[in-house]
Structure 1
């Protein structure tokens, strides 16, 4: 079982350092959206970025992406397709953001 514990989190800033505080992402249709980088962290052997869309509604929360690094060092933000991984990272982010 993968350990998504708050005490295992390592805060990072690779995406921010590479692109600045706002990133531009495009979807499958080529639609461009801008996101502010809220947090970045490593946990359970993976890296994640929490982004907030500049077009988000009041009820829409942040979006979480996995950060991949190519052999050349290029960063890529990808959607987390595994439901269990997404749930674990989402719950961890909530725990880190709203501690009891």
Structure 2
């Protein structure tokens, strides 16, 4: 797998434009869980979304999904490849750090 860097990622707003800042997903127990949309970005031919529920926030953790668009419908796909997930997390982490640095300078 190609290792991507922060400079390769392009911010997007695919989910935010449709759902706003929060997305509701159904968990394994068929219960609705509200996730905050922390970031979206495009990389190569894929789109990614970084989500965090209140429970994940307590653990300082996030979920990262591949965003698929088929027949005009969006679907979130779990990233099964550990290397891809780690690379996307590193890019998100750099994005969040850069945003924090910018906020601190203002």
Assess same fold via TM > 0.5.
yes
TM class by shorter chain equals 0.7 to 0.9
When you count helix as a share of all residues, which structure comes out higher?
2
Q: What are structure 1's unaligned runs of at least 5 residues?
A: none
Alpha-carbon RMSD: 1.8
Q: Distance in 2 between matches of 1:77 and 1:60?
A: 21
Secondary structure in 2 matching 1:81:
coil
Deviation of 1:3 (Å): 4.5
Q: Does residue 65 of structure 2 align to residue 65 of structure 1?
A: yes
**Which consecutive segments of 4 or more residues in structure 1 shift more than 6 A?**
none
**TM-score (structure 2 length as normaliser):** 0.81
**Where does residue 91 of structure 1 map in the other structure?**
90
Q: Distance in 1 between matches of 2:77 and 2:27?
A: 11
Q: What are structure 2's unaligned runs of at least 5 residues?
A: 102-106
Matches within 5 A, 1:11-30: 11-30=11-30
